């Protein structure tokens, strides 16, 4: 019985370690992939800053507003990630036409 428990606890530790490693690798790859796609294959559309707050971490006084834009009669949202925008401001959004959820403010 002890041998059985030792065998599976060692395997579980190894699997957990590689799972965490893969998770953080995916986060990095996903961010880089999104930036690559938007840098080379994006289209632009006008958007509007809306009254939806995105709080910055544990400091509840700092927040940014979301933006909303339309593609083929469907609306999409994104975080402006900048506290300088106010509700009602017009902004330019870049997005991937195949998957408009990949979007960001155009700089």
For the chain, give every domain's residue range. Answer: 1-41, 42-105
How many Cα atoms are found within 13 Å in the side-chain-facing hemisphere of 48? Answer: 6
User: Rounded to whole angstroms, how far apart are CA atoms 106 and 92?
Assistant: 6
Structure confidence at residue 4 (pLDDT): 55
Q: Determine the Cα–Cα distance for residues 28 and 34; give it in Å rounded to an integer.
A: 10
For residue 3, pLDDT beyond 80: no
What's the pLDDT tens digit per position in 62-93? 899 999 999 999 999 999 999 899 999 999 99
The strand ranges marked E within 5-98 are 43-56, 59-71, 74-79, 90-96
User: CA 21 to CA 40: how far, in whole Å?
Assistant: 29
* CA geometry: angle 23, 25, 96, nearest 5 deg: 100
Q: What is the pLDDT of residues 28-58, one digit of tens each?
A: 667 788 888 999 999 999 999 999 999 888 7
* Higher local confidence (pLDDT), 7 or 54: 54
What pLDDT shows up at residue 26? Answer: 66
Q: What is the pLDDT confidence band of residue 103, given thresholds at 50, 70 and 90? A: very high
For residue 105, what pLDDT is reported? 95
Tell me which H or E stretch contains 82. Answer: none
**pLDDT tens per residue, range 11-30:** 777 777 777 767 766 666 67
């Amino acid at each position: 019985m002890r041998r059985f428990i030792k065998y599976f606890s060692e395997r579980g530790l190894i699997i957990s370690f590689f799972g965490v490693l893969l998770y953080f690798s995916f986060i990095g790859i996903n961010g880089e992939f999104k930036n690559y796609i938007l840098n080379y294959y994006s289209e632009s559309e006008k958007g509007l800053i809306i009254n939806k707050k995105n709080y910055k971490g544990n400091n509840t006084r700092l927040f940014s507003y979301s933006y909303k834009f339309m593609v083929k009669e469907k609306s999409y949202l994104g975080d402006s990630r900048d506290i300088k925008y106010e509700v009602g401001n017009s902004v330019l959004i870049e997005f991937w036409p195949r998957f408009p959820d990949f979007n960001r403010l155009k700089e």
